[in-house]
Structure 1
Amino acid sequence: MNESSLRNLFEVNNARTQSIEEVVRTFVPSDSFWRLVNGKNHVVLGARGSGKTAVLKMLAHDHFSRFDDPTISALVAGRKFIGTFVPMRADWIGTLKNKPWYSLDDSLRSFQWRLNLSCCAGFISTVESCLRSYCPTQERIFKERDIADMLRQSWVPNGRAVDNLRGLRTVLEDVEWEAQVNALSATTPIRCGPEKPTGGVFDSELFGPINRGIQILKRVIDFPDDAIWALALDELEFLDESHHELINTFLRGKSTLAFKLSTMPYFHHTLRTRTSQPITAGNDFDYVYLDNDPSIRRTDRRGWTDWANDVLSRKVAFVEESRAEEFSLTKLLGNESPLFDEKPSSWQQDSSMMLLLKKFGNRATIERAQRLSPKAFKDQISRKMHGMLLLRDYADRSGGHKKHQLYSGPKLFALCSDANPRQLIRLFNELTLRRGADNVLDAKRLVNQTIQSQCAISFSGDILQNAATEEGIGGELHAFIKNLMEYFHSRFYDQQLTTDYYYAIKTPNDVTDELWELIRHAVGLGLMFPKASFTQPDSLPERGSSEFDMAFRLAPKYGLLPRKGKPVPLLAALKKGKMAPELHCSYQMDLL
């Protein structure tokens, strides 16, 4: 394998910057993805790096039609699902927020103009893909000429003539540039009248121009009446509440488009619309929460490992197909995960684990362990306490300063990714790219367990440090998560152990706006996860009296177990930290 190719592949782990071929060949479809392939409206939720952009790109026809899957191949052949991907580009979203002279209506008109233009630009890629999929080669050039000219006349009637889609794309680029130039020379919003004839069509009703484009495409290529036309709008967290209201209006009403919107959890800013009636989940749209995908997060640990192995194998196969069959996390990391290996049904009285239980367990737990049947002992004691006892023993013997092997093995590796593709690849980088010429994929031996553990701890520390760089809230967010993790560390190491493990928080009913804002951003970055029910996995809990699990990948930095735990009151966890003085006095009863 070419190491530079490997290096480039694993350093670029954001779907926004990947080619169509790379996204398609490295994509691992989850249950959440399949739920989107229909005519319903969806709002896709997921922490940063969870794969929202990849999922929405895969719904676009230029990606969808290239994916090797029998179900998708049948939909493509039947011309049943035609999607268009449109990113909410930070550059033009930012320009809307940097014009204080805009009124709300001015801002919305400018937003509508730019979004209409962006949808049409994205639709050109859909048209190209449909021509490639459904038109014989000898006819394609003539059909492309016809549709390019018809689209140009509909979208930019006063623009120059074009005879192919590349020329049409250039015309739209020129329209956008002209708008930017005019905006720089004026203190009024973009208005397309006599002074701006080329882009006037994009002032029409939102999504009107792309709907017109669909009608024109149907004249050139036959599609069945029940074909689904999907519009995937990515990263809506960048938008304002007023922008969400405008888009929500189209989820409420009858539309020829099936909307697939993505945003971070708790960043679907409002359910209001521009009418008197709000949209409702389960009626006008469905939430799909990627971070709680049942095919990964809600399976046993083997499910996590299989997912991680599949993601990395496809990455390797993209660089060199022949190496894909050779790669596996087991070959790289071994079979053992000391903290999560299968536990025995009983511990002999003089066994090392029983001695650790007697040393670190509280009296009630020790007495209960000695009277349980082997089956009950495995379920209630060894399964729950094995990893905790190993961590306590290491800290007791070494003071936490010696290197160890506890954070190693495929199961640990998968769990510390939190089922987040980007974090999985970042953790993989700790084992590969940062080790210089020692490329582990070409190594003849397993990666040493001590090195694995060091990488997991280093990765965990970097995660917390990265939170400090978050614009506008980084300092407070870093302090907030650090306070919580120090509390869980103290609780774990300063008390005798029971079968209960604490690694979650519960918010008070009257949580302040400041603390809720920190929680929202922590969930958006994947530093904590709302406890969603098994019956309603996509419903996020409200701000008051809700529970949140800490991210598994934070655990190694603090010598903790990357495992779900019981919750503690949020304010109780913060009361000993630096944030305690900022807590509102009305919360003090919650600490009791």
Structure 2
Amino acid sequence: MRIDDIYPAYNARHLNPNEVGASFIWSANFEKLIQNGHSVILGARGCGKTTLMKMLTIPALNSWRDKRASKIRKSIPFYAIYISTDIYWDVKNHTYSSQLEKFENFDQIISYFSVNSNVFTSLCDTFSYIIDEYELNDESKEIELCKALIEAWKLTQVIPKLVYIKEALNKRVDEVNQLVQQVIFNYKKGDIIPHPSYFNLNFETSVEAIIPIFERIYNLNDGKKWALCFDELEFAPLWLQQKLFRSLRSRKQFLLYKLSASPILSLELEKLLQSEYPATSGNDMQIIKMWNSGDNETFSSQIITSLLRKKFPGKKGIDFFGSNEVYNSSNLYTKGSSFFKKIIELAKKDPSFNDFLKDRNIDPNNPVINDKKLKDTIFRKIKPIVYFRDFYIDEISKNNNKVTYRSRKKGNELFFGLEVLSKICDGNPRWLIGIITSILLKSSESGAEKNLQFDELHSAALRFKNVIANIPIGNNTSYSLIDIMEKVGLYFKDQVLGERFSMDPKGTFEVDSKEILLTDDIIFLLEKAISQGAIILVDSKDDNFDFRIRGKKFKLAYLLSLLYNLPLRSYPSVKLSECLRGIKQVNQKTLFD
């Protein structure tokens, strides 16, 4: 199972640009992406990278219904050429790659050819979009353009129309696939393999040559640039990644690069960028880290509102889904408020919390603080922890600090409401759309019940956990990724719901820098978790790429936090090695035993 399988219907990869634009929600990241410069979007699967990239195209912008849409359509400073990475570009990862190794660089040639063909086809699409958008249909001009394409791309016997150019490119791809099969089954080492002249093409130099011809023929003099938008580069062959990241530094002035990839770039790419004079953020390009966006909750709330209005026009999110006391600011710290009562309740059954209050001169039976600054500092920090401990803990023995938990299988009083729904997907639109759509389908116009909201969130969390458990890891490690996630989750759970109350429980982890404390096998698994959004960087700087995860701080995805009864808050960090040692499950060894 892949991450895409959780909510496949909402994967932008399977939607055409018109469909993407029709449901698009504006975000700060999109505003960054449409700027007149090179951009690199980094984020986990499902975080919305593909949606943003497809939104740069003319059909997507035309189908977008938003108060900003008209202005953006007129002012966007480039024409986007959207190119979706195909896993078949990386021939070395194919099952038949070993059969091609004996033919020197034939696998590399096929990889170059595959990329070139996709770029050429995408360029034809963009030409068609522009011609239709500006009503430039003129048969003589199209013929002139297509003759130039036929010559540049070494096509033969093709009617000079864009639609037939694309057909010829697709036919050529099929012919090369047949050639690959013939080489595998009929050729032996030392045989001369056919090498047609179009194997020598280079998509960058070709695009740089063709675009000025198109602009001349159609008299385009609006000053717009052209953007090669390569999506999901984590699946692209290394040679292409290296070529594109080099191009962020030095290419034609009229050509921009918009790239998307996973949060952690490869070490091979790091070596390349360190050995040369690399592009730098702020000067040559802009790095857009999806997980660092300050408007994730606002963006999520807008998605929820949009889906709610389609299903139940006129309904407000806060009324339909309710508000969650753990995270809202109503009656925060006033005497007699729900929080005031929770403090008193918890102090009666939790000796450590009772001591915590007394140590700060707060009466457990009348928890009032007159100093506003001190009240905000203490009560704001402890509020989620108080609610969670009061909900899950029945009592804590004064004699041996043994914790007795309530026999509650559901956290329906904690995981519901607009605040939770806006937080729990960490800004991941695919998960959020799937969850909200499912809740709305099962709700009446009167609103979404707490139990229903929790059940849908819990179901999504379990499916996500199942995806993580089934991430292919090959034979590189004997450890289990789900085992690591489980131990981290249980460690954090013990921090929040353990025998002693803490105002600053450990809730994030730092990956140990020393291999003796944390082996490379575990690093390999963590990188898999990052690419799927199971763990999220929390201390990444916007102006730098991330190549190594040692020494960096992460949190569990909030959707997984639900499975361990954790508040949706970021807390201080602990070394991951300590996390993995800290909790032992029954009949299960730790990774260090």
Q: What is aligned with 2:293? A: 293
Q: What is aligned with 1:339? A: 326
Distance in 2 (CA, whole Å) between partners of 1:485 and 1:194 is 55
Gaps of 5+ in 2: 1-6, 363-367, 395-405
Q: CA deviation at 1:179?
A: 0.7
Distance in 2 (CA, whole Å) between partners of 1:271 and 1:252 is 15
Q: Which amino acid aligns with 1:354?
A: I
Distance in 2 (CA, whole Å) between partners of 1:294 and 1:120 is 37
Give yes or no for the alignment of 1:310 onto 2:302: yes
Q: CA deviation at 1:346?
A: 4.1
Query: Any conservation in 2 of the 1:458–1:557 contact (CA below 8 Å)?
Result: no
2:565 to 559, 565, 570: 559
Q: Match of 1:84, SS? A: strand
Q: What is aligned with 2:413? A: 405
Q: What is aligned with 2:526? A: 519
Q: CA deviation at 1:562?
A: 1.4
Q: Match of 1:548, SS? A: strand
Q: CA deviation at 1:74?
A: 5.1
Distance in 2 (CA, whole Å) between partners of 1:516 and 1:444 is 48
Distance in 2 (CA, whole Å) between partners of 1:274 and 1:572 is 34
Give yes or no for the alignment of 1:135 onto 2:127: no
Q: Match of 2:415, SS? A: coil
Q: What is aligned with 1:116? A: 116
Q: Which amino acid aligns with 2:301?
A: N
Distance in 2 (CA, whole Å) between partners of 1:545 and 1:403 is 34
Q: What is aligned with 2:446? A: 445
Q: Match of 1:83, SS? A: strand
Taking structure 1 as reference, are residues 341 and 565 closer, same or farther at Cα in structure 2, changes over 3 Å only? same
Query: Any conservation in 1 of the 2:458–2:563 contact (CA below 8 Å)?
Result: yes
Q: What is aligned with 1:257? A: 255
Q: CA deviation at 1:412?
A: 0.7
Give yes or no for the alignment of 1:29 onto 2:26: yes
Q: What is aligned with 2:392? A: 395
Q: Which amino acid aligns with 1:418?
A: D
Q: What is aligned with 1:529? A: 536
Distance in 2 (CA, whole Å) between partners of 1:507 and 1:410 is 33
Q: Which amino acid aligns with 1:111?
A: S
Paired residues, what number?
546
Q: What is aligned with 2:402? A: none
Q: Match of 2:433, SS? A: helix
Taking structure 1 as reference, are residues 453 and 378 closer, same or farther at Cα in structure 2, changes over 3 Å only? farther
Q: What is aligned with 1:326? A: 314
Q: CA deviation at 1:308?
A: 2.2
2:57 to 33, 56, 60: 60
Superposed, 1:231-250 pairs within 5 Å as 231-250=228-247
Q: What is aligned with 2:218? A: 221
Q: What is aligned with 1:589? A: none
Q: CA deviation at 1:461?
A: 2.4
Taking structure 1 as reference, are residues 147 and 77 closer, same or farther at Cα in structure 2, changes over 3 Å only? farther
Distance in 2 (CA, whole Å) between partners of 1:73 and 1:229 is 20
Q: What is aligned with 2:399? A: none
Taking structure 1 as reference, are residues 555 and 76 closer, same or farther at Cα in structure 2, changes over 3 Å only? closer
Superposed, 1:430-441 pairs within 5 Å as 430-432=438-440, 439-440=442-443
Q: What is aligned with 2:170? A: 173
Superposed, 1:487-498 pairs within 5 Å as 487-498=491-502
Distance in 2 (CA, whole Å) between partners of 1:365 and 1:124 is 69
Distance in 1 (CA, whole Å) between partners of 2:274 and 2:154 is 30
Q: CA deviation at 1:266?
A: 0.5
Superposed CA deviations along residues 342-395 of structure 1, whole A, max 9, x for unmatched, are: 253344699443231453316234431618435235423332223322222222
Query: Any conservation in 2 of the 1:347–1:353 contact (CA below 8 Å)?
Result: no
Distance in 2 (CA, whole Å) between partners of 1:105 and 1:337 is 60
Taking structure 1 as reference, are residues 514 and 381 closer, same or farther at Cα in structure 2, changes over 3 Å only? same
Q: What is aligned with 2:580? A: 574
Q: CA deviation at 1:207?
A: 1.6
Superposed, 1:464-483 pairs within 5 Å as 464-472=465-473, 476-483=480-487
Q: Which amino acid aligns with 2:355?
A: R
Q: Which amino acid aligns with 1:211?
A: E
Q: CA deviation at 1:14?
A: 0.6
Q: What is aligned with 2:461? A: 460
Q: CA deviation at 1:144?
A: 3.3
Superposed, 1:77-88 pairs within 5 Å as 77=74, 80-88=77-85
Distance in 1 (CA, whole Å) between partners of 2:273 and 2:410 is 61
Query: Any conservation in 1 of the 2:415–2:453 contact (CA below 8 Å)?
Result: yes
Distance in 2 (CA, whole Å) between partners of 1:537 and 1:580 is 41
Give yes or no for the alignment of 1:421 onto 2:429: yes
Distance in 1 (CA, whole Å) between partners of 2:131 and 2:109 is 33
TM-score (normalised: structure 2): 0.83
Taking structure 1 as reference, are residues 324 and 291 closer, same or farther at Cα in structure 2, changes over 3 Å only? farther
Q: Match of 1:126, SS? A: helix
Distance in 2 (CA, whole Å) between partners of 1:203 and 1:389 is 67
Query: Any conservation in 1 of the 2:39–2:257 contact (CA below 8 Å)?
Result: yes
Superposed CA deviations along residues 230-265 of structure 1, whole A, max 9, x for unmatched, are: 001111111343432233332332334211111111
Distance in 2 (CA, whole Å) between partners of 1:275 and 1:543 is 17
Distance in 1 (CA, whole Å) between partners of 2:520 and 2:361 is 45
| Identity score, percent | 19
Give yes or no for the alignment of 1:375 onto 2:372: yes
Q: What is aligned with 2:10? A: 13
Q: CA deviation at 1:539?
A: 5.2
**449-458 vs 139-148, which moves further:** 139-148
Q: CA deviation at 1:540?
A: 4.1
Superposed CA deviations along residues 138-179 of structure 1, whole A, max 9, x for unmatched, are: x4454334423432232233x223242221111111011011
Q: Which amino acid aligns with 1:210?
A: V
Distance in 1 (CA, whole Å) between partners of 2:413 and 2:220 is 59
Gaps of 5+ in 1: 1-9, 297-303, 434-438, 585-592
